[in-house]
Chains A and B, each alone.
Chain A
């Protein structure tokens, strides 16, 4: 450490680190991601593609609206109210995120279909409830964080000025947490647009953009031009929408409209109703369907094929996550360095979130075709997919950290690297761990992109998809149980180290 502390005074050291981070980003993330567009032979566009795009955006919009409608009240409940078992409730909100998406797809179609309520079969409704299950916690978590950041004296002030609870919620909280809720909504929307693996299970005959892309890729003969054209149009549309919403996020000014004081006061006393509905939504629509597959297990959790797949999945995820941390942290630092082009860098990182995973997989398999062993391609594909989910939050927390702290450390004689590891790292540590958890879990449960890359390797989500295709639901459910158990242990270990700062 001493050696690095001292070496960090040499400006060439920082330059070299930036260069390595940039080269890695371009060669292993950005390049392979966009390689696909250089492979186009001729552009095609047909009605099927148009319908798929309309279906994808409609589903994304519906999912996001439902997430917001039920997520904001739930976030409010978690952030502001005290009640028994709140800690438990707070912990289980993200549970659907650790269910591999393919198992989630299976579980939810079973719950709503013949394996459960029998309300609807695979189709657009199934896709919507499926996407809600894995996007709901994004909206809840970002809104909850935004609510907790608001000075609670503001609500007290509104109270002393005569505002009823509903009035102050409407005129204060909503505008103040808007940015937070919307950033969660953007995340939910893009995830809904890009999800491939689970959607395939829930879609029935409906074709969303990722599903149509898989179809073109698997068609005989493969229609790669159509797949690329569709991906290009879709990426452009999603990116444009993403940019538009982001530019609207930071409007910091609002005006007061009319307040219907009596009605709002009367409605305020029905707060328990909104709490109840939000809770019922979480338990009945999000959690219960997500874990419905547990009913179908045959209790053969340790089948040899499952163990092999688990080992492969965790090996790939560990390698991909370590690479992401090693090269993502310097890039996050570079992004927040207030350089001229850092906004562009940030945008390029975040574009990876908008891309459908199947497109990423396709692009990477084309990029690395014949150059690397399949397992390495798989690792790099996962790096490309999880990279933004680690870099983006770390860059965010870095930009919020007070620069003076580093200046103070330097003025007290700390070398740059020493200042980084003793001052900056402890501050951003919880976010680094949170980003690591998200990245790792995404890698473990990723289905769509892996499907596009792997030919002989079977990760556990692929195993679940394959078993489901063969009608072996019990085996698939058992595999999902093992994955869930191992993931839970892993997440708990990581969360534990979130509190222990270095």
Chain B
């Protein structure tokens, strides 16, 4: 029963701290996405959970067993590498059959299981091909099939769609989630692509600088981000400084009424700003059509704002927003700009 508990895990590479006191719980059958900018420690965490790396401190329990020091070959897992790591000298069939054979299984039987798995990932007919003779998408599916033939219910994916064309990427995402749910897999998936995270995850884990910032459903982390960084990394956001006195403050020509007092950072998502005949006057700096929606950069009294709307900007040059869509954060200790930056 894959049920993963990561307890107080830290990892140092020499003097560099890659992970700091990470705690995480993953339930059976969950599709968990580790999301963060490059260098945030998400791949390190994945490799520690799967046993490829060992933590400097802390423990990993899988299905109630302490597996912190166990090598990957004894953990009964599947791992999909970023560059797939397909064995270049083995046919697609032998690649897929590698796991069962390496565990001492009968090679013929293993190849039959592998052939079924290749069919499942739509690679029937390419059994004899060497990895370099397959397209990028096929290589990705072969790597998936290889990880699945071991029969493991625990799957680790390290940026699995990175090397693919944009349209194949979207297709494979759907396929990944469909397969995970169909086979009842517990999946830990690493990505820096927030759209991919939203599309796939039951639970998103947002990381930065070796720390977990927030854990929650896609809708939770999007609508209730725990910090300005999470808000900006997931979907993008406009940041405005406001000062409340007795719960009242002015923002873009609106009078805000809250129970807050003092200085805050107000966050408004680009899609929560809209053009209207009443509201604050702005100057449109640039506009792009993305097909289903439009994106505008506007200037409002020297403050640069992003607007995302399905309605084309017409005659009016005023914008407005609804108060219930505004989030307030205390100014981060290291300063707003620094907290948003990615080191």
Contacts and interface: CB of A to CB of B under 8 A. Distances in A.
Interface of A: 151, 153-154, 156-164, 167-168, 171-172, 175-176, 252-262
Interface of B: 50-52, 71-73, 75-79, 81-83, 85-91, 94, 97-99, 101-107, 130, 146-147, 150, 156
A218 B82 CA distance: 66
Contacts of A252: 88-89, 130
Nearest to A252: B89
A259 B156 CA distance: 25
A262 B81 CA distance: 26
Given A255-B94, A258-B106, 20 more contacts: A153-B85, A156-B52, A156-B72, A156-B79, A160-B52, A161-B98, A162-B99, A162-B150, A172-B87, A176-B88, A252-B89, A253-B91, A254-B90, A256-B94, A256-B97, A256-B98, A257-B107, A259-B103, A259-B104, A261-B104
Contacts of B101: 256, 258-259
Nearest to A258: B107
Given A153-B83, A252-B88, A256-B98, A159 B72 contact: yes
20 contacts: A153-B83, A156-B72, A157-B81, A159-B51, A159-B52, A160-B72, A160-B78, A161-B102, A162-B103, A162-B150, A163-B102, A171-B98, A176-B89, A253-B89, A253-B90, A255-B90, A255-B91, A256-B94, A258-B107, A261-B103
DSSP class of B's interface residues: helix, strand, loop or mixed? loop
A260 B91 CA distance: 21
Contact of B79 (A154, A160, A164, A259): A160
B89 to A, nearest CB: 5
Contacts of A260: 104
A262 B156 CA distance: 25
B50, B71, B85, B156 — most chain A CB neighbours (10 Å): B85
Contact of A151 (B85, B89, B105): B85
Contacts of A159: 51-52, 71-73
A253 B130 contact: yes
Please provide the 7 A-B residue pairs with the shortest distance between their CB atoms, ordered closest to farther.
Answer: A261-B104, A160-B79, A163-B102, A161-B99, A153-B85, A157-B85, A162-B103
Given A153-B83, A160-B72, A167 B89 contact: no
A161 B103 CA distance: 8
A255 B127 CA distance: 13
B88 A160 contact: no
Contacts of A253: 89-91, 130
A82 to B, nearest CB: 13
A155 to B, nearest CB: 9
Contacts of B146: 157, 161
A151 B81 CA distance: 12
Contacts of A161: 73, 78, 98-99, 102, 146-147, 150
A9 to B, nearest CB: 38
A164 B98 CA distance: 12
B129 to A, nearest CB: 11
A164 B73 contact: yes
Contacts of A255: 90-91, 94
A167 B102 contact: yes
A158 B98 contact: yes
B73 A163 contact: yes
B167 to A, nearest CB: 26
Contacts of B130: 252-253
Contact of B81 (A156, A172, A175): A156
A113 B122 CA distance: 68
A255 B105 CA distance: 15
Given A159-B73, A161-B150, A259 B85 contact: no
A241 to B, nearest CB: 25
A160, A164, A256 — most chain B CB neighbours (10 Å): A160
Nearest to B47: A156
B113 to A, nearest CB: 13
A327 B19 CA distance: 56
Nearest to A263: B104
Contacts of A167: 102
A127 B104 CA distance: 43
A308 to B, nearest CB: 54
A154 B150 CA distance: 17
Contacts of A168: 102
B78, B97, B102, B103 — most chain A CB neighbours (10 Å): B102
A262 B85 contact: no
B1 to A, nearest CB: 19
Given A156-B52, A164-B73, A254 B102 contact: no
Contacts of B106: 258
A157, A161, A175 — most chain B CB neighbours (10 Å): A161
A161 B101 CA distance: 9
Given A256-B107, A260-B104, A261-B103, A163 B85 contact: no
A368 B50 CA distance: 69
A167 B87 CA distance: 14
A432 to B, nearest CB: 29
Nearest to A264: B104
B50 A160 contact: yes
B102 A259 contact: yes
A175 B130 CA distance: 14
Contacts of B71: 159
Contacts of B98: 158, 161, 163, 171, 256
A162 B94 CA distance: 15
B85 A154 contact: yes
Nearest to B77: A160
